[in-house]
Amino acid sequence: MPLEHDIARLFVPDGEAVTIVPLRHGLINDSFLVTTKSGPWAVLQRINRHVFPKPELIMENLRVLAAHVRGRAVSGNAAGDEIRLPEILKTQDGRDYVIDAEGGCWRALEYIEDSQTIESIKEIRQAEEVGVALGRFHTLIHNLDPARLHQTLPGFHDAPGYFTRFLRASARPRHVLVERNLLQGLSFVENRWGLTRVLDQARRDGKLMIRPIHGDTKLNNFLFNKNTGKAVSLIDLDTVQPGLIHFDIGDCLRSCANPAGESPEDIASVCFDLDIGRAILEHYFAETREFLTRADFEYFYDAIRLIPFELGLRFLTDHLEGDHYFKIDHPGQNLHRAQVQFRLTASIEEQEQLIKKLITRFAVMHSR
Ligand code: GN1
Ligand code: MG
């Protein structure tokens, strides 16, 4: 019997029959949908120990987050109460995670009823919903002291750090790197290394402040109600940690405004869809009026350009290092993923003036 069945049994109430189906959209953790006789019940996950060496820190963050959200609900100050975070489910003997014989760390999160994920934005309304949901999530956590959260993944979204690592991985004699796609990827990065410093420098200069963030705001981490189409939850909370909200906005647009997705066969089909970007930002800003500053707005374009570039850099480095971070199905997949993100970065650069104009318009309307 597969391990996930044994583990699921520790969580599921006695005697409940369960079916367990792997969910395949993450590149890091292993996830399974656990269904009992009354319907979908939980998402069981094995946290990747190579990526998250201290999963207990994730669980502590989840507890802090849950207590903060409950506190806001009680104080009646729950601007974000329409966005619901999945509860941590306990084992029958009261633990909120389990370590298996091989050291794997398992936990179960509540399944939000009648919800589904989507893989690409098909209607503008879905983009609006994403903007609302991310805005509500940030509103919900913006006054949680970031010092109360652990850094679950040190170096995450540290663009200068990723660049240094890339340099190390690519510092081999160029004649070994004969492949054209690879050479193109290398020169794409080398022409943009300055970009990796922009947000980090703004943070060092005190222009941008560290806040709690989600860290992984890709489209399939938003849950939509199957009946109403409303975005009801934001899942995959492993990377909730101190950071810049700019990472979340950049990552959300990176994922949502590229309808071709992260793995299209034809890289030429990748582009940044400005209508989707506009709809997300408009609804995000309408929700976050309360705390965004003028300086925040000054760096949103850089974030939108940086995050796809950064992810491309991460994929390319992983390809050069032998694919030990992102799961792959075939060799060369991380190089292809990098090319997709670089194409998206280029599409954003082509629309720089339009995107900046849009952000300036929102800045005038909203910032303090
Ligand atoms: C990883 O595993 P998943 O899909 O939740 C990665 C994100 C990337 C994403 C790209 C901890 O997220 O940063 O944007 O792949 N998560 C981590 O698909 O590295
Ligand atoms: Mg994730």
pLDDT score for 176? 61
Look at residue 89 in the predicted model and tell me its pLDDT.
93
Q: d(Cα 256, Cα 279) in Å, to the nearest integer?
A: 11
Atom nearest to 51 CA in ligand 1: 11
Per-residue model confidence (pLDDT) at position 80: 45
Q: List residues bridging with 34 in a β-sheet.
A: 20, 42
- Ligand nearest to the CA of residue 30, numbered in listed order: 1
Ligand 2 centroid, distance to 352 Cα (angstroms):
28
Q: Dihedral through CA 199, CA 201, CA 202, CA 203, nearest 10?
A: 90
Q: How far is the CA of 46 from the centre of ligand 2 (A)?
A: 12
Residue 82, Cβ density class (10 Å: 0-12 exposed, 13-18 middle, ≥19 buried): middle
User: b/e string for 197-227 if b means 16 or more Cβ within 10 A?
Assistant: ebbbebbeeeebeebbbbbbbbbbbbbbbee
Q: Which of 23, 24, 25, 28 should be mutated for ligand 1, with most atoms under 8 A from CB?
A: 28
Quick one: CA dihedral 178, 312, 104, 219, positive or negative? negative
Q: Which residues pair with 89 in a beta bridge?
A: 108
**DSSP label at residue 149:** S
Q: What are phi and psi of 203, to 5 degrees?
A: -70, -45
Looking from the CA of residue 153, the nearest atom of ligand 1 is 11
Q: What angle do CA 340, 345, 347 make, to 5 degrees?
A: 95
Using CA positions, which residue lies closest to atom 1 of ligand 1? 27
In angstroms, the CA 328 to CA 322 distance is 11
Instruction: Tell me, using a 6 A CB cutoff, whether residue 146 lines ligand 1.
Output: no
In sign, the C-alpha dihedral spanning 252, 258, 260, 263 is negative
Q: For residue 250, report the distance from its CA to the centre of ligand 1, in Å.
A: 14
Beta strand 30-36 with 19-23 is antiparallel
**pLDDT at res. 16:** 76
Closest residue by Cα to atom 3, ligand 1, is 26
Please give the CATH number for the structural domain made up of 124-366: 3.90.1200.10
86: closest CA among 69, 106, 104, 74? 69
Ligand 1: does its nearest atom lie under 6 Å from the Cβ of 23?
Answer: no
Ligand 1 geometric centre to CA of 283 (Å): 24
Domain ranges of the chain: 3-113, 124-366
218 Cβ below 6 A of ligand 1: yes
**What is the mean pLDDT of each successive set of 10 residues along the chain, which is 368 residues long?**
88 82 87 91 92 91 93 58 86 93 91 94 98 96 96 95 95 69 93 96 98 97 96 93 98 98 97 98 94 96 98 97 94 97 98 97 80
Please name the residues in contact with 215: beta carbons below 8 A apart, sequence gap of 6 or more. Answer: 153, 156, 157, 238, 239, 240, 241, 243, 247, 248, 251
Nearest CA to ligand 1 atom 4: 26
**Count of other CB atoms within 10 angstroms of residue 69:** 19
Kindly report the protein residue whose alpha carbon is nearest to atom 17 of ligand 1. 28
> Ligand 2 centre from 31 Cα, in Å?
11
| Cα-to-centroid distance, 285 and ligand 2 (Å) | 24
pLDDT at residue 71 in the model: 80
Tell me, using a 6 A CB cutoff, whether residue 311 lines ligand 1: yes
CATH topology of domain 3-113: Phosphorylase Kinase; domain 1 (3.30.200)
Q: What is the rounded radius of gyration, in angstroms, for the C-alpha atoms of the chain?
A: 21
